[in-house]
Amino acid sequence: MPVQLKQFQDFLADKKIGLALIFNSDSNFKYFNSCNDFHGVLAIQPNKTFILSSLLELKTAKLDSLIKPVYAMKKDMVSMIKSKITRFNKIGINMDNVSVNQYAWLKKNFKNAKFADISKDLARLRAQKTPEELSIIKKACAITDSIFRNTAEMLDSGKTEIEVANFIKAEMRKNSVTEAFTTIVATGRNSTDIHHKVAEEKLKGCTIIDIGVKYKNYCSDMTRTFYIGEPGENEINAYNNVLAVLNGIKTIDDVKKLKPLKMQVHSLGHSIGIDVHEKPRLEMKNEIGNGMVFAIEPAAYYKDYGMRIEDMFLVKNNKFIKLTRFPRELVIKKEQW
């Protein structure tokens, strides 16, 4: 049994929650079960667990599910659940994931049960990474470092954003990983757009590249800003200001004192794991603790250009240990003539 599942069952017993229901649309389904590539529901009680799968995907579910047993949903879900569980009077559900219609459906079909929101408890459990999770995340970071090294070598003013993005995707395929999110390549004025969609724009000036891979269900998230051409003094100073923020992060106390730069318009960072953005966010300073993994991304966005640097860290012994290794210093690529 996965250690996370045993911890969660102990929590259910302590809170007198007789049953937790997690649907496959919820990333917590994958967290406990290692996959969610089929339609179904995970039922967890303090003393037992099982999976209900659609009949059409039963073979896949039985083959891929970490949690056993797996039952076919031969009749309606409620009847199936009630036939497999021991008695309970409280159901735990993830209110961050359950829709209004799903919640109404649950209340209608489990009329005698009380409902408890377990979303914060699931988030706290996931925030503390196990040694096995950390091993996978470190490998995802190493792959991302490798992709950045190869990408840096091919950058020049003759390339377009789309060409660079396609190169990065090809590198991911070589490493048998997938995108954790849509790869960002944003050059020139496009670098002021935080979630820019790649275009046929040729590289010039500040060029932000934001890459995340998914390896064995776990994500990486890393950003570097390159310069195509000759940067001016203002651009170099602006970059160094962003760099100084990241270089100043060594301990939890450093993070608690951290403030975003005046020209940063998004969060300073976020926990990361199965999802790219998990809780706690870096701004939730009192919730940061050992065993957590964060992506920290100081940035500055001006009228004509933007710059962002992002690394991943493990919190260990109250220190922030860097997991991504590609150099942070500004890489300047000469223009082609």
Non-local (6+) Cβ contacts of 253 within 8 A are 318
Report d(CA 249, CA 107) in Å as an integer.
Answer: 47
| Cα separation, 187 vs 206, whole angstroms | 6
Q: Residues 73, 181: one domain?
A: no
- Model pLDDT for residues 65-121, shown as the tens digit of each residue: 889 999 998 878 888 888 888 778 899 999 999 999 999 999 999 988 999 999 999
For 163-195, the pLDDT digits (tens) are 999 999 999 999 999 999 999 999 999 999 999
3-state helix, strand, coil in the chain (%, to 5): 35, 25, 40
Angle of CA points 29, 35, 36, to nearest 5°: 60
207 lies in the same domain as 298: yes
Same-domain status, 136 and 121: no
List the one residue out of 45, 44, 69, 71 whose CA is nearest residue 57.
71
Within this chain, do residues 82 and 213 fall inside the same structural domain, yes or no?
no
pLDDT number for residue 8: 96
Which of 94, 127, 160 is the last residue before a domain boundary? 127
**In CATH, what number is assigned to the domain containing residue 175?**
3.90.230.10
Which residues form the domain of 97? 3-127
Domains in the chain: how many in total? 2
Instruction: Specify whether the CB–CB gap between 90 and 115 falls below 8 A.
Output: yes
* pLDDT over 70 at 258, yes or no: yes
Going by pLDDT thresholds of 50, 70 and 90, the confidence category of residue 313 is very high
Residues 199 and 312 both lie in one domain: yes
**What is the pLDDT, as a whole number, of residue 195?**
92
139 and 278 assigned to the same domain: yes
